[in-house]
């Protein structure tokens, strides 16, 4: 694991579309970002089963579902009007604040 921190344009709460992999075409909400790994965790995407022994959090143990992080390059922000994936760009407003925009349409991200 390197000390490099990647610039991730996605934020927690963004709705994204999966572009590649076993969950291709599915949509989900970003739960967390991992800048050191260049990955994001998306709710309901990249879910795996894991066998766990009994402990305080899982008193009975058994098989649980865990959501693993997915590469940032495999997801794209979903545009709310067309429901299609779009890249993210940045634009400076007249008052000097930096806002995120959809590259597909040029509209601002809410």
DSSP 8-state code for residue 95? T
Number of domains in the chain: 1
CATH number of the domain that residue 47 is part of: 2.30.30.30
Give the confidence band of 1 by pLDDT, cuts at 50, 70, 90. Answer: low
Tokens found for residue 29: 């909400």
- Structural domain harbouring 81: 15-85
The reply to whether 22 falls in a domain is yes
CA distance 37 to 21: 18
CA distance 11 to 22: 23
Tokens found for residue 5: 């921190």
The yes-or-no verdict on residue 45 having pLDDT over 80 is yes
Q: What is the pTM of this model?
A: 0.83
Overall average pLDDT of the 12-30 stretch: 96
Residue with tokens 């050191």: 36
**CA–CA distances in Å: residue 109 to residues 9, 41, 43, 92:** 11, 20, 20, 13
pLDDT tens readout for residues 59-83: 999 999 999 999 999 999 999 989 9
């Amino acid at each position: 694991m390197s000390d490099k921190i990647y610039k991730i344009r996605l934020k927690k709460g963004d709705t994204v579309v999966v572009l590649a992999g076993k969950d291709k075409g599915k949509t989900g909400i970003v739960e967390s970002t991992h800048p050191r790994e260049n990955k994001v965790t998306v709710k309901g995407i990249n879910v795996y089963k894991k066998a766990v022994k009994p402990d305080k959090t899982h008193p009975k143990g058994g098989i649980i579902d865990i959501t693993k992080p997915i590469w940032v390059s495999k997801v794209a922000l979903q545009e709310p009007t067309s429901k299609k994936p779009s890249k993210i760009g940045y634009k400076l407003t007249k008052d000097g604040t930096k806002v995120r925009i959809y590259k597909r349409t040029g509209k601002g991200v809410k």
